[in-house]
């Protein structure tokens, strides 16, 4: 059994990012929404200064600081400048312009006095505070100058990136093709969601869970259905999956039972098996193999084991495969255990629950009920996996616990 951290390092050495590139159009809000999660294949450079011109950060008056070295100072208001209108006058000695937030600073002015520090009387304004040169002015190019790189290759597009791309008038984006992830479930005991359940059969919930988890990463799930427990069917299904996908996920058939055929079939297909099990609970049986440049994950069939294995090992691998800029590893945080956490000690144990924050930091509350690898009922609302380290059997309530954040 490989320790989890060692398995993670090995997996990252096996993943090669996708090189295929597509062009996205970003001219409408709908197209912008469709771009979420896509990964930039090229860095983005802006042709514009940000801000585009000197502008006001406040409603107030644009003045020459040298005219307001002592107060009160009375100035003549020569213009009003709302946002979106170009100033028409240059501010001369003894003059000011009424200016609104975001409006372009007029020539001659170098400072904005906020309106709360003024008294207006007709076309005269009295300034009640000494001017600090440059106050409340956002200089042209102070956020970033024209010609500067505003987004890196490998950046995943999220709403802030959409806003910046739109502001920079970037209407064409070069992005990596989304990874295609094939998903298949092995097990003659599995039934489809709309079938009656005879005694001894269960619904193939893993197909649905993994498709949702894959979609959440931004990759494209390719559900390939249920595979019966016989070597020929398993071999045909895996070969078909490899022919269509960049990565293959299967559940079941990776332990040491009489009907566990996945590892044998992979070897027959010319795969190199790198990992057979990990020192993790739940989820000890884990097959990681390569067939050429394609990565294959054989996850356990128990629902909790499959999802924990996905969060711990598969999701980071998909992040690297998609071309995202690292780090790709899961995010771990330290939290206070709300209740006592117990484990057997032989393996690194992951207990699912809710990660929250209070005024002191993170808090982890273990989900109530049994933490059997077959229990998916209390997996609902999981936002973190509390970790009891290998060799340790207990974490006291109130003690620090390392938690894997669910993205």
Q: Which residue has the higher pLDDT, 249 or 373?
A: 249
The domain made up of 4-15+178-321 is a member of CATH 3.40.980.10: yes
pTM of the model: 0.89
Please give the Cα distance from 176 to 24 (Å, whole number): 10
CATH fit for domain 21-46+146-176, picks 3.30.1360.120, 3.90.105.10, 3.20.20.140, 2.160.10.10: 3.90.105.10
pLDDT at 261: 84
pLDDT at 259: 56
Please tell me if the domain spanning 21-46+146-176 has the same topology as the one spanning 332-405.
no
Please give the Cα distance from 230 to 406 (Å, whole number): 35
Confidence of residue 319 (pLDDT cuts 50, 70, 90): very high
Residues 6+ apart with CB under 8 A from 374: 302, 303, 304
Q: What secondary structure does DSSP assign to 178-209, as a single string?
A: PPEEEEEEE-TTEE-TTS---TT-EE-HHHHH
Q: Domain extents for the chain?
A: 4-15+178-321, 21-46+146-176, 55-138, 332-405
Mean pLDDT of 293-311: 94
Q: What secondary structure does DSSP assign to 86-103, as a single string?
A: ---S---TTEEEEE-TTP
Beta bridge partners of 39: 156
Residues 6+ apart with CB under 8 A from 163: none
Please give the Cα distance from 63 to 134 (Å, whole number): 10
**Poorest-confidence range of 51-60, 94-103, 249-258, 312-321?**
249-258
Residue 112 DSSP SS3: strand
C-alpha torsion angle, residues 375, 381, 385, 386 (rounded to 10): -100
The CATH class given to the 55-138 domain equals: mainly beta
Q: Which residue has the higher pLDDT, 163 or 1?
A: 163
pLDDT digits (tens, 9 = 90+) for 231-277: 899 999 999 999 999 999 999 877 656 557 888 899 999 999 999 99
Superfamily of domain 332-405: MoeA, C-terminal, domain IV (2.40.340.10)
């Amino acid at each position: 059994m490989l320790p989890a951290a060692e398995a993670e390092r090995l997996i990252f050495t096996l993943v090669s990012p996708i090189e295929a590139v597509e062009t996205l159009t970003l001219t409408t809000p709908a197209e912008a929404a469709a771009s979420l999660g896509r990964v930039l294949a090229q860095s983005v450079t802006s042709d514009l200064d940000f801000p585009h011109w000197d502008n006001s950060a406040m409603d107030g008056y644009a003045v020459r600081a040298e005219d307001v070295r002592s107060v009160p100072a009375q100035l003549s208001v020569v213009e009003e400048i709302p946002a979106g209108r170009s100033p028409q006058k240059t501010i001369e000695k003894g003059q000011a312009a009424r200016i609104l937030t975001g409006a372009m600073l007029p020539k001659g002015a170098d400072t904005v006095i906020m309106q709360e520090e003024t008294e207006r009387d007709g076309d005269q304004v009295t300034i009640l505070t000494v001017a600090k040169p440059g106050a409340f002015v956002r200089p042209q190019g102070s956020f970033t100058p024209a010609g500067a790189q505003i987004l890196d290759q490998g950046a995943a597009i999220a709403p802030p990136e959409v806003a910046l791309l739109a502001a920079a008038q970037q209407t064409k984006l070069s992005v990596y093709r989304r990874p295609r992830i094939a998903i298949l479930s092995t097990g003659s005991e599995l039934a489809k969601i709309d079938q009656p359940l005879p005694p001894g059969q269960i619904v193939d919930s893993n197909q649905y869970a993994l498709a949702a988890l894959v979609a959440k990463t931004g990759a494209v799930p390719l559900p390939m259905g249920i595979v019966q427990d016989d070597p020929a069917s398993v071999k045909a299904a895996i070969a078909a999956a490899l022919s269509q996908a960049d990565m293959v996920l299967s559940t079941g058939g990776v332990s040491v039972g009489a009907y566990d055929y996945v590892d044998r079939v992979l070897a027959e297909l010319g795969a190199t098996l790198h990992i057979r099990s990990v020192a993790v609970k739940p989820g000890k049986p884990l097959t990681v193999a390569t067939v050429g440049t394609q990565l294959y994950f054989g996850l356990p069939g128990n629902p909790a084991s499959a999802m924990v294995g996905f969060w711990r090992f598969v999701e980071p691998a998909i992040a690297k495969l998609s071309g995202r800029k690292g780090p790709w590893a899961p995010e771990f945080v330290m939290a206070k255990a709300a209740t006592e956490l117990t484990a057997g000690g032989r393996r690194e144990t992951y207990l699912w629950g809710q990660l929250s924050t209070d005024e002191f930091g993170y808090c982890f509350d273990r989900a109530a009920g049994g933490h059997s690898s077959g229990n998916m009922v209390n997996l609902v609302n999981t936002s973190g996996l509390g970790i009891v380290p290998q060799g340790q059997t207990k974490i006291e309530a109130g003690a620090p616990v390392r938690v894997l954040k669910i993205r």
